[in-house]
Structure 1
């Protein structure tokens, strides 16, 4: 049956859908030959836009069929309904093919988007009126499984983030404690150096004092020895002064002992 004889608008819509199906077929054939991930992503986006247009045209086709339902015979209505079902089935095949390629590229599937004016998730191409209860339940189970898997992945990511944060905090705490110990050790070393510096200064002053005393004693002994030598050489010399560094009585006593000998 020719759609143009039933409704020219239906025939025009059907022709546009056929053009899109040919473009989708050629696009997916080219997609299999593309190796670059970025080019594949762009190609998938273009094919997704075409499928959106096709979905819109199928809705227009269904709207016109409903408008013509009261003015056509049962055979024509059956033919139009079968044609609509075949269009939906063919589009679903491209949707499945697109999902397969999208999962390979790890990209978000626009057909499962939760919101958006043109998102396919808003109304799946498989219309609920054309799905059995078993298919609806199976589709719901699949969505629940996918949601559970996404939640599990999210929990795992959160747990890994918490573990990394805990390890980082422990490492920072250990480094802080180590820095505190280093600072304490530096303070102790600084205090020890100051104490050692004072001790060295005191030792230096004591050594200087001892040297002065030793020098003075050396001079006294040298003077005594010189006087003794002079007295031995010239015992009758009365002009020899007292011994340096000694009291006069002590000096005279030592000289008398030397003279008697």
Structure 2
């Protein structure tokens, strides 16, 4: 932290924010292990995901600042900053992998078993057995054929539903992919705008300090000019005033010297 402060205050500030997020992620995942309720686990996981997004944005800001100052740094300093950035990326990726692991575990817990049949199936089987015992062979054959036809129609309807579902799923996946790419571009643009605003704010502060310094210099020069003008006015009004030294160019003319032969 101190070494980064000597290189750039902006880098030191971003590094401190990233370190705070990493500590919050570590504590958050430790807390997640102790939570038993799946709903609370989901909410905790969403909060940790949001922190990871913020950390990713800060790492991008860190990378931009490094590229912005790398021309005036020594090669060893640039190498150290790049290694620092890679270390941040590796630590963030470890938390992303941990988040995927917890998300997969939660998904398995919340999966609904779709193969459970309705209660009372055994009663329907006994009733069908009683009806079959009172039928003739031809009736049994006709009933079997009818049931097979109904089963075939049900299978065809299921195939159509599956095909429609696959089509809808493909369209949804394509739309989600397009929206994800659009959101990624928007996030990158927002990150760039945020970084530009920071740089502009820093530049405005520097300009403000320079303007304040220029104003102080102008005020000092103005006071000097007023003093000179006041001395000139006093010398004009009272040229015999001995309290004010003569200003070069405004001193009274020297007495003309008489030549030696004129005196004689």
Report the TM range for the smaller structure's normalisation. 0.3 to 0.5
TM-score, scaled to structure 1? 0.42
